[in-house]
Amino acid sequence: MNKQRDLIWLALIILVIGGAAWVVFSDNYPVQRGLDLQGGLQVLLEADVPADQNIPREELDTARQIVDQRVNALGVTEPLVQIEGDRRILVELPGIEDPNQAISLIQETALLEFIDTGDQSLPAGTCVRTTLNNGPSRCELPVGAPIDTPIANPAPTYETVMTGAELKLAQSERNQANQYYVSFTLKPEETQFFADYTRQNQGRFLTIVFDKQVISSPRISAIISGGSGTITGNFTLEEAQKLALQLRFGSLPIPLRIESTRLVGATLGEQSVNASIRAGIAGVIMVLLFMIGYYRLPGVLAAIALLIYALLNFAVFEGLPVTLTLPAITGFLLSLGMAVDANVLVFERMKEELARGRKVSESVHSGFQRAWTSIRDSNIATLVICTILWSFGRSFGASAVQGFAITLAIGVAISMFTAVLITRTFVNLVIGGNSDWMTQHRWLLGA
């Protein structure tokens, strides 16, 4: 019978609540706090090529990977580097200590250097300093340490001969003896310089450094006059391929320029957020009290459904995850308003039917049935708006706009589940199940 169906629903609801509670309270799914909640840096990079020039997806993705590697070295806990649209890369570094360093790091385009190490062959992985932007390098510090950490044994400084920007091409190849090597071609304008250099330094080591870290230290075995040469060593296939890739992409495949930056001071953000969240919670409690005061027993049931609603939302926010910013929290609060709205629509219907002299169980039934079309139509309209907002925000990395649209949309979707299904199951079991008793205590229904 109906009661049986409601009990099955109740079991399902309890299951969902259990799952949600697990996600919310387990440490596996931390809350992702956005820039305005903990301060940080957002940088929108755009390919610095003419607007009508198409950018191959692979190039944009390679550039993204390189930027990702660079910011990863900064030791930020949750860096975000993603492609936005078809010519932009969005970088978000929440809680970053030194934003200026991050900006210069992201902007650096040629971090590949050829340095003169004289008679010395340096093992791969060695950290060095070079005459190009001389100074302590990230390589010398433990991951995540601030850039001004004192360094006990500074790395020696070598002269930069050439940077990756002078390379035109690099690829891995194999000779007859089945040894892998890397061949490279210089840009035409560099050919003469390199020919002269190799003539003067034949037999010495020309070490290849990527981000101030040695990747290979080959000896200049011949004069390279034609603009193309090879790097040999005991390479495996993977090593040769990796070296070729680094030679090729050490400079970004496409030039990037900074289109917008957003630097949020941690303190300003924190004050604003704490106040806003406290205020939001106070507002929600007012709403719950109002629901209970005005609708009595159904109001209590709806308030419980709303608390479940909040739990489910946070489970989704943490599980997906959704980065929480102030606008995102506002979106959630508004969706909470819509969840309340759905209940109000139903309860007002119920009271109307009761006022017409219907039985309690009939009123409950038609309250939910009649209100459904209104709830459905208005929620779909909101979801449409959310979709438009989301794509609007997406096209230029306005994560505030996106966050708002996502939480509002998630909230609306969940509200259809909680405000309709959960509240209905509760109301059916508590009120519909005790129809006769309820009829004698109509004040409990606020009617």
Partner 1 sequence: MFENFVQKRRYYYIFSGVVIGLGMLAMIFSFATSGKIFPLGVDFLGGSRFEIQFDQSVTEDQVRDVFTQNDITNPAITALRGQDLSNAWQIRTEFVDATKAHSLETALTALAPLVPGTFSVTTVSPAVGKEVTRAALAAVLVSGVVVLFYIMFAFRQVPNSFRYGACAVIAMFHDLFVIFGFAAIMGMISGWEVDALFLTGVLTVAGFSLQDTIVVFDRVRENSARKRSGSFEALVNRSVQETIKRSLITQLSAMFVLLSILLFGGESIKPFIAVLFVGLLSGTYSSIFTAVPLLVSWQEGEIPLISKPA
Stretch that binds partner 1, among 75-83, 96-104, 119-127, 229-237 (CB under 8 A): 96-104
Least Å distance, CB 51 to partner 1, is: 9
Q: How far apart are CA 8 and CA 56, in angstroms?
A: 53
Return the number of the residue (155 or 258) whose C-beta is nearest partner 1: 258
CA distances from 70 to 91, 127, 138, 185 (A): 11, 16, 10, 26
Q: Is the dihedral of CA 231, 234, 240, 242 positive or negative?
A: negative
Residues between 241 and 300 with contacts to partner 1, criterion CB under 8 A: 258-276, 278-280, 282-284, 286-287, 290-291, 294
What six digits make up the tokens of 224? 């390279």
Least Å distance, CB 408 to partner 1, is: 7
Q: Are 21 and 311 in contact (CB under 8 A)?
A: yes
Strands 180-186 and 129-130: unpaired
Helices 423-430 + 326-355 axis angle, to 10:
40
What six digits make up the tokens of 321? 């995850």
Half-sphere exposure of 310 (CA within 13 A, CB side): 16
**Preceding amide of 321 cis, omega within 30:** yes
Q: Are 324 and 32 in contact (CB under 8 A)?
A: yes
Least Å distance, CB 34 to partner 1, is: 12
Least Å distance, CB 246 to partner 1, is: 26
Return the number of the residue (198 or 423) whose C-beta is nearest partner 1: 423
Return the number of the residue (18 or 135) whose C-beta is nearest partner 1: 135
340 counts as binding partner 1 under rule CB under 8 A: yes
Place of tokens 């030679």: 247
135 counts as binding partner 1 under rule CB under 8 A: no
The mark string for 358-377 relative to partner 1 (x by CB under 8 A, - otherwise) is: ------------x--xx--x
Return the number of the residue (41 or 244) whose C-beta is nearest partner 1: 41
Q: What 8-state DSSP symbol labels residue 181?
A: E
The mark string for 26-45 relative to partner 1 (x by CB under 8 A, - otherwise) is: ----------x--x----x-
Size of the site for partner 1 (CB under 8 A): 76
Half-sphere exposure of 215 (CA within 13 A, CB side): 23
Q: Cβ contacts of residue 15 below 8 Å, gap of 6+?
A: none
Q: Are 30 and 66 in contact (CB under 8 A)?
A: no
Return the number of the residue (154 or 265) whose C-beta is nearest partner 1: 265
Q: Are 170 and 187 in contact (CB under 8 A)?
A: no
The mark string for 147-176 relative to partner 1 (x by CB under 8 A, - otherwise) is: ------------------------------
Q: How many CB atoms neighbour CB 286 within 10 A?
A: 10
Return the number of the residue (35 or 247) whose C-beta is nearest partner 1: 35
Return the number of the residue (39 or 229) whose C-beta is nearest partner 1: 39
Question: Pick from 348, 369, 437, 441: which binds partner 1 (CB under 8 A)?
Answer: 348
Strands 40-47 and 256-264: antiparallel
Chain Cα centroid distance, residue 282: 30
The mark string for 380-419 relative to partner 1 (x by CB under 8 A, - otherwise) is: xxx-xxx-xx--xx-xx-x-xx--xx--x-----------
Residues between 300 and 339 with contacts to partner 1, criterion CB under 8 A: 326-327, 330, 333-334, 336-338
Return the number of the residue (240 or 336) whose C-beta is nearest partner 1: 336
107 counts as binding partner 1 under rule CB under 8 A: yes
Question: Pick from 104, 131, 157, 200: which binds partner 1 (CB under 8 A)?
Answer: 104
Q: Are 401 and 389 in contact (CB under 8 A)?
A: yes
Q: 40 forms bridges with which residues in the sheet? A: 94, 264
Least Å distance, CB 422 to partner 1, is: 18
Return the number of the residue (294 or 437) whose C-beta is nearest partner 1: 294
Return the number of the residue (88 or 248) whose C-beta is nearest partner 1: 88
Residues between 181 and 220 with contacts to partner 1, criterion CB under 8 A: none
Q: Cβ contacts of residue 26 below 8 Å, gap of 6+?
A: none
Return the number of the residue (185 or 276) whose C-beta is nearest partner 1: 276
Least Å distance, CB 431 to partner 1, is: 20
Q: How far apart are CA 304 and CA 10, in angstroms?
A: 13
Return the number of the residue (67 or 291) whose C-beta is nearest partner 1: 291
Amino acid at 67: V
- C-alpha triplet 242, 247, 248: angle, nearest 5°: 95
3-state SS assignment for residue 75: coil
Stretch that binds partner 1, among 10-18, 242-250, 308-316, 341-349 (CB under 8 A): 341-349
Least Å distance, CB 72 to partner 1, is: 20
Least Å distance, CB 37 to partner 1, is: 11
Residues between 58 and 77 with contacts to partner 1, criterion CB under 8 A: none
